Homo-oligomer: A and B are copies of this chain.
Amino acid sequence: MLDAVTPGRSEAQPAGTDGAAGLEGTEGRVRPVIEDVQPVVDDGRFPAKRELGDEVVVEADVFADGHDETACELRWRHEDAPGWQSVTMSALDNDRWRSSFVVSELGTYLFCIQAAVDRFATWRRDLARRIEADQNVAVELLVGAGLLEHIAARAHRSDRRLLADTADRLRSSSPATAAGTAAIVELLGAPDLVAAASRYPDPETTVCSSDFSVTVDRSRARFGSWYEMFPRSASPLAGQHGTLLDAASRLPYVSSLGFDVLYLPPIHPIGVTNRKGRDGAPSKSRDDPGSPWAIGSAAGGHTAVHPDLGTVADVARLVEAAGELGMEVALDLALQCSPDHPWVAEHPDWFRSLPDGTIRYAENPPKRYEDIYPIDFDTADWQSLWEEIERVVRFWISHGIKIFRVDNPHTKPLRFWEWLISSVRSDHTDVIFLSEAFTRPKLMHRLAKLGFTQSYTYFTWRTSKWELESYLRELHTPPVSDFLRPNLWPNTPDILTEQLQTGGRATFMSRLVLAATLASSYGIYGPAYELQESRPRSSGSEEYLHSEKYELRHWDIDDPKSLSPFITTVNQARRDNPALQHDRNLEFHGVDNEQLVVYSRRWTGAHSDRTRTRPEANTVLVVVNLDPLYTQSGWVDLDLTQLGLDESAPYTVCDAFTGSRYEWRGSRNYVSLDPSIVPAHIFRVEPPGQGGEPQTKDPRNTDPRSKDPAR
């Protein structure tokens, strides 16, 4: 409903706080205060993040002096909408209030809270107490009539008559008899009257919070399965440079695994000067293709496509082919240049010159990266630089790209990103920026706050039970969950973790299940992942041996040892269960084995299926064996409340890998996972009366060995 109430006075301008100054311009009769509004990031400096269709639950502390009743309203609007909508907030315990609104448009919503002392509600409450105590309320009825008449005077025409009529009836009521009193109680309790009387708080004494903002993204911002792939390795012929069209031919495979986003490392021309060769050593061969992150050559820079990969038009073709499979293509935005990038000649002042006339290479002293010049954002010409980068982003948007994976954003100014993302999204609200910042926690958080849609995380190196529990709990809990959407990666072309080097197939499986079920967005670098590539460049290094960063690889995606069936099952479970598509919903459960980690995701929100919105609950329970070598068993100790279950009734858990159904009861149940088969359960939890019949009632018989479709 459109709200006609004049916004009240701002809480940010209290009366006479400027010391001995007079009371001019202040209003001393504003009594409520509003504190600790949520969801709010850094006191409103940044927006909170939500997705299309979300119910934004807003809470605040609202209270006034004394014991009067307070009325509290949540107001919101899309920033482009002309007027506010509003809803009455409900009081929880301890002066906390709550309500919510649903976001149905992309872009920025504003919300605020408005509070007023409700004199009529206070009077009605007190009258009930007086009647209860058999006091004479004759005079009180006249007081109430007067209050109603005041409200009627500022009410909308549609309510004025009811308010005035009720006032008249109070004036003529006879509370001396039991019947008279009963009539008054009935009169005052009528829902229409209660609603009408509360609809018009006195604007003079109403207080408003600041406006706070919520950024609303499309659901892909929260839920997506990413597949990173080097198109130059996508040729069906070994040793031949792959193209974007080869990558398009690989799309049905990637889609069949259940991925939604195909992410390509930089596709631009690669510099020749100081080109890196195999495993990052200086190139010794003209055949070395160079690192895709050494961007720019005589063939062009950030808006060009490497001639061996194809053309800009091929990008649009790839995007189209992906779209036909329900997939999207993400490009890499890596703001650095090879010495041969056109910008070096056109804008030498965008780079840092040395007194000897050369340009400074990328460095981490004493290390040097001679094939790359970092851009100098401290340049006096920073405005042109920023605008040129925005032009690059808009160029690719104009060719169908809606997702950018941003390389090392933490080494470029924070203000630049805040401006760039805001500027691009001002007319492209559906564009997604993924921050690839593996750096200090506060810097990673700031990048998320200032506008990055999603963020890489430390998940990659969180391997022990304690690490996983504490870190993922942080990611699913405010304040972090209000501004940072995690995207979990078990590997990347830069990171072959020690665990993947040594853990074998079981570790590739368990890390994939963890990434795919601990948060709603995850990704893998393939085909290295499904083919379990585990050889490091050298002992102690996280670099891949024969890294695709420096050479073409040929992958046998049909290798029978591939984990592709397993990955397909996991991604299907993600698609089947809304609980795995939402955030802020992770709970860990107890288990008497340190090698087992047990957690649930539960979703009870509205499920929009385009035609109608129906409430539906979905709960997933995951058990992962962290030990790649041995079967681990234990008794889980489930928090049934978190699972939406009660103590008494049995319930069914259905495993995604085997399809087996087990009847469980109560909080303690037995699990056993053999890593040589499948090191995880992904159970859908079905309360009594939901889903099919369990296949077995033996709680110990959860061994998925015989029916594992993932093998």
Residues of A within 8 A of B (CB): 12, 14-20, 23, 26, 28-31, 33, 35, 42-43, 45, 61, 63-67, 94-95, 126, 129-130, 132-133, 135, 139, 142-143, 146, 205, 354-356, 358, 363-366, 377-378, 382-383, 386-387, 410-416, 418-419, 422-423, 425-427, 440-443, 446, 450
Which one of B18, B35, B205, B365 lies within 8 Å of A126 (CB-CB)?
A: B365
Return A215 CB to nearest CB of chain B, in Å: 12
Enumerate the 4 nearest inter-chain pairs by beta-carbon distance, A residue then B residue, closest first.
A133-B366, A16-B419, A19-B426, A142-B355
Which one of B28, B135, B364, B377 lies within 8 Å of A67 (CB-CB)?
A: B364
Q: Which residues of B contact A426 (CB under 8 A)?
A: 19-20
In contact, A382 and B29 (Cβ under 8 angstroms): yes
In contact, A23 and B419 (Cβ under 8 angstroms): yes
In contact, B422 and A19 (Cβ under 8 angstroms): yes
Q: Which residues of B contact A414 (CB under 8 A)?
A: 31, 33, 64-65
In contact, B422 and A16 (Cβ under 8 angstroms): yes
Whole-angstrom CA separation of A139 from B35 in the bound complex = 57
Return A64 CB to nearest CB of chain B, in Å: 8
In contact, B418 and A14 (Cβ under 8 angstroms): yes
Which one of B30, B42, B63, B66 lies within 8 Å of A411 (CB-CB)?
A: B66
Which one of B94, B129, B413 lies within 8 Å of A442 (CB-CB)?
A: B94
Return A514 CB to nearest CB of chain B, in Å: 25
In contact, B442 and A29 (Cβ under 8 angstroms): no
Q: Which residues of B contact A356 (CB under 8 A)?
A: 139, 142
Return A481 CB to nearest CB of chain B, in Å: 18
Q: Nearest residue in B to A66 (C-beta to C-beta)?
A: B411
Q: Which residues of B contact A415 (CB under 8 A)?
A: 14-16, 26, 28, 30-31
Whole-angstrom CA separation of A517 from B63 in the bound complex = 33
Whole-angstrom CA separation of A532 from B657 in the bound complex = 73
Whole-angstrom CA separation of A363 from B129 in the bound complex = 11
Q: Nearest residue in B to A96 (C-beta to C-beta)?
A: B442
Q: Nearest residue in B to A378 (C-beta to C-beta)?
A: B29
Return A177 CB to nearest CB of chain B, in Å: 19
Q: Nearest residue in B to A412 (C-beta to C-beta)?
A: B65
Which one of B17, B29, B132, B423 lies within 8 Å of A16 (CB-CB)?
A: B423
Whole-angstrom CA separation of A61 from B445 in the bound complex = 12
* Besides A23-B386, A66-B410, 9 other A-B contacts (C-beta < 8 A): A15-B416, A18-B422, A61-B442, A95-B440, A126-B363, A129-B366, A133-B365, A139-B354, A143-B354
In contact, A418 and B16 (Cβ under 8 angstroms): yes
A-B contact pairs, 20 of them (CB 8 A): A15-B416, A18-B422, A23-B419, A28-B377, A28-B382, A28-B386, A28-B416, A29-B382, A33-B414, A35-B442, A63-B443, A63-B446, A66-B410, A94-B442, A95-B442, A132-B366, A139-B358, A142-B354, A143-B354, A143-B355
Q: Which residues of B contact A450 (CB under 8 A)?
A: 14
Q: Which residues of B contact A143 (CB under 8 A)?
A: 354-355
Whole-angstrom CA separation of A339 from B415 in the bound complex = 64
Q: Nearest residue in B to A410 (C-beta to C-beta)?
A: B65
Q: Nearest residue in B to A24 (C-beta to C-beta)?
A: B383
Whole-angstrom CA separation of A201 from B261 in the bound complex = 45
In contact, A129 and B365 (Cβ under 8 angstroms): yes
Q: Which residues of B contact A130 (CB under 8 A)?
A: 365-366
A17-B65 contact, Cβ under 8 Å, with A378-B29, A383-B23: no
Q: Nearest residue in B to A368 (C-beta to C-beta)?
A: B135
Q: Which residues of B contact A386 (CB under 8 A)?
A: 23, 28
Return A121 CB to nearest CB of chain B, in Å: 14
Q: Nearest residue in B to A441 (C-beta to C-beta)?
A: B94
Which one of B135, B378, B418 lies within 8 Å of A15 (CB-CB)?
A: B418
Which one of B15, B355, B387, B418 lies within 8 Å of A419 (CB-CB)?
A: B15
Q: Which residues of B contact A12 (CB under 8 A)?
A: 45
Q: Nearest residue in B to A382 (C-beta to C-beta)?
A: B28
Whole-angstrom CA separation of A119 from B97 in the bound complex = 49
Q: Which residues of B contact A23 (CB under 8 A)?
A: 383, 386-387, 419
Q: Which residues of B contact A440 (CB under 8 A)?
A: 63, 94-95
